[in-house]
Structure 1
Amino acid sequence: MFKNIIVLVLAAATANASLYARASDPSLASRVTQAIASVTGNGITGNFNFTQESGQSGLKVAINVSGLKQGTQYPFHIHINVVPPNGNCTATGGHLDTFGVKTANAPYNCSKNNALTTCELGDLAGRQGNITVNANGQGIMTFNDPIITFGEGKTSILGHSVVIHAPDNTRLACGNIVGYALQVPASGSASSPAASHSGSSQDEASGLDPVDSAITTKTSGSAVSAALSAALVVLGAAIAL
């Protein structure tokens, strides 16, 4: 009985959680609110999470990577090209530098205090420092980078990749930056973003904004936590009866 109560509460709460769709459709770029790059290679695995924070410019970046060597510092950058299916990090090309800061005939000295004119857009390590490793072989960093954004402008990181380098600049691990857009229920109005797409009848019936034939959805962590709390409250009430 108690198990059934918990399942029902979880199902109800999760159904109301925020749904996100993988923004493979360029028209969703302006609605992207978070992005993830899952990096792999040479025994290294982990995630770079990019999110928009209310009241802050740029993006918050949270890094959690394992398989690194303690005492070693690892540079990391956003690169121009995506990682191909074979996982070849060399194919990602050079650092993202949409403003042409780095030139062949001038020294490159990235300064966090004058980042727009001295740092490549993708030089996160230059602005924020290298990844440092704890005793468990994990590299954990959190920072706000005021330059990078989502959307479709020159500061956008969508459609690019993240690469972790060894101290000698060897490319060790990489992953594509995948943006996720908050779903908008279809209202039927011409001004609705959902109404502007011609998706399947199943998408329209569910109120989800069609993205492609392989929609990726996920629920927000806060909504799941709320569901768990609600389940525990209901369970406690049932035991008290």
Structure 2
Amino acid sequence: MFKNIIALVFAAATASASFYVRDTDTDFSMRVEQAMANVTGTGVTGNFTFLPIPGQTGLRVSINVSGLKQGIQYPFHIHVNLMPENGNCTATGGHLDTYGIKTANAAYNCDKTKPLATCEIGDLAGIAGNLTANANGQATLTFNDPIITFGNNKTTILGHSIVVHNPDNTRLACGNIIGFVRKNPSTSGSHTGSSQTESDSDNTGSNTKSSGASSAAMSAALAIMAAAIAL
């Protein structure tokens, strides 16, 4: 019974996600309602989800990474460049630091009580602490980051990537951050903020916005309801 419930929850989440699409129009960053990054590396997989915080600035970050070693601390950051198609995490460049907080002339010390003045925009671990895996090699973490946004070109996470590091700061896994908007913007609340000026190059390619996709999602939802009743 428990396994059936877990399967239904996963299916429901998949159906719900199908109501969101990537977009590339000029006001894309103004309409983003959530962003995701799937990270991969040798034996490591995981996902990062970013959502607005009701009534607050910043974004809520939820993380689930598997394939780690128990008790080891893994830093994680937003990096400047997108991960290329070959999955080379080194190509993602350095940490996102649009305000130049980290310099060669002073020791870097992110103080989460003064994040905008002391932390790199991409230093998620500085705000929340490193990832630490349990006995199953899984690390989960949810926290609010008061700096990052979808819309402001100085603090936006769009068009950048996530990198999970080994304790020695070598790069273990990475993935691109992708923004999503609702298929029907008139039924969703817009996420306000300054428009993004840099290109969100990860969102290239055509986007399917046909009603067929919505119908498929609805059918999936109905199937989930029927299965739940049969339990």
Q: Output the TM-score relative to the length of structure 1.
A: 0.72
Quote the residue 1:200 is aligned against: none
Post-superposition Cα deviations, 1:7-26, rounded to whole Å, max 9, x if no partner, equal: xxxxxxx9999721113444
Residues 79, 162 of structure 2: 8 Å contact kept: yes
Quote the residue 1:106 is aligned against: 106
Q: Structure 2 unaligned segments of length 5 or more: list them.
A: 1-13, 187-203
CA 1:173–1:57 in structure 2 vs 1: closer, same or farther (change >3 Å)? same
Post-superposition Cα deviations, 1:107-153, rounded to whole Å, max 9, x if no partner, equal: 11110011111100000001110001011100110111111110143
State the Cα distance separating 1:29 from its structure 2 match.
Answer: 1.2
Quote the residue 2:76 is aligned against: 76
CA 1:16–1:96 in structure 2 vs 1: closer, same or farther (change >3 Å)? closer
Q: Are 1:215 and 2:211 matched, yes or no? A: no
State the Cα distance separating 1:224 from its structure 2 match.
Answer: 8.8
Task: Letter of the 2:206 partner, please give it.
Answer: S
Q: Distance in 2 between matches of 1:16 and 1:95?
A: 32
Structure 1 segment 78-227 matched on structure 2, within 5 A? 78-184=78-184, 213-215=206-208, 227=222
Quote the residue 1:203 is aligned against: none
Task: Letter of the 2:143 partner, please give it.
Answer: F
> How many equivalent pairs are there?
197
SS across alignment from 2:21: strand
State the Cα distance separating 1:233 from its structure 2 match.
Answer: 8.5
Q: Structure 1 unaligned segments of length 5 or more: list them.
A: 1-13, 187-210, 237-241
Residues 68, 138 of structure 1: 8 Å contact kept: yes
Residues 71, 132 of structure 1: 8 Å contact kept: yes
SS across alignment from 1:134: coil
Task: Letter of the 1:153 partner, please give it.
Answer: N
SS across alignment from 1:156: coil
Q: Output the TM-score relative to the length of structure 2.
A: 0.75
Task: Letter of the 2:65 partner, please give it.
Answer: V
Structure 1 segment 14-93 matched on structure 2, within 5 A? 19-93=19-93
Choose 1 or 2 for highest CA Rg.
1
State the Cα distance separating 1:176 from its structure 2 match.
Answer: 0.2
Task: Letter of the 1:231 partner, please give it.
Answer: A
Residues 37, 49 of structure 1: 8 Å contact kept: yes
User: Percent of aligned positions with the same letter in both sequences?
Assistant: 61
Greater CA drift, 156-165 or 49-58: 49-58
Residues 18, 182 of structure 1: 8 Å contact kept: no
State the Cα distance separating 1:101 from its structure 2 match.
Answer: 0.7
